[in-house]
Amino acid sequence: MSTPAEIGLQRWHAIVESRDPAQLPGMIAADAVFRSPAVHTPQEGREVVCAYLSAALVVLGPELTYTDTWQRENDAVLHFHTVIDGLQVEGIDMITWDDDGVITAFTVMIRPFKALETVIAAMGKQLFG
């Protein structure tokens, strides 16, 4: 039988591959929490988590490659690399799923500093126009 992390990872990779956020709401818990690389305050609730992850798919998506995964029963750390405006971006997604493989927490960290600056600017443009 698949673990919640296995179910969740399969769904997440399908979303990233399609870059179609239509399936996102169904895989995010109503009280899910998103911890962005930009600000300390957690972003709470399905709607706002969907908004951030949808924007991230646009900003990070085109060149996004997952290079490694540390996986447990209900959570995983995914190591990713991407390129934005010619700048190398490295980061991790730390995702927690409930027992049905639905996302309850999603934390993103990015290095180096210049990449984080660029991602924050691009995310701001995507989210707030």
Interface residue with a second copy among 35, 66, 74, 98 (CB under 8 A) is: 35
Outline where DSSP puts E strands in 1-129.
Answer: 28-35, 43-44, 65-71, 75-84, 87-97, 103-111
Binding window for a second copy (CB under 8 A); candidates: 15-23, 26-34, 69-77, 121-129? 69-77
Interface residue with a second copy among 13, 70, 124, 125 (CB under 8 A) is: 70
Q: Establish if 71 lies at the interface with a second copy (CB under 8 A).
A: yes
d(CA 65, CA 78): 10
Q: Establish if 49 lies at the interface with a second copy (CB under 8 A).
A: no
Structure tokens at 79: 């190591």
**Closest CA relative to residue 119, chosen from 67, 52, 25, 49:** 52
Q: Establish if 81 lies at the interface with a second copy (CB under 8 A).
A: no
Question: Under the rule (CB under 8 A), what is the footprint of a second copy?
Answer: 35-40, 70-72, 75-77, 79, 88, 90-92, 94, 107-117, 120
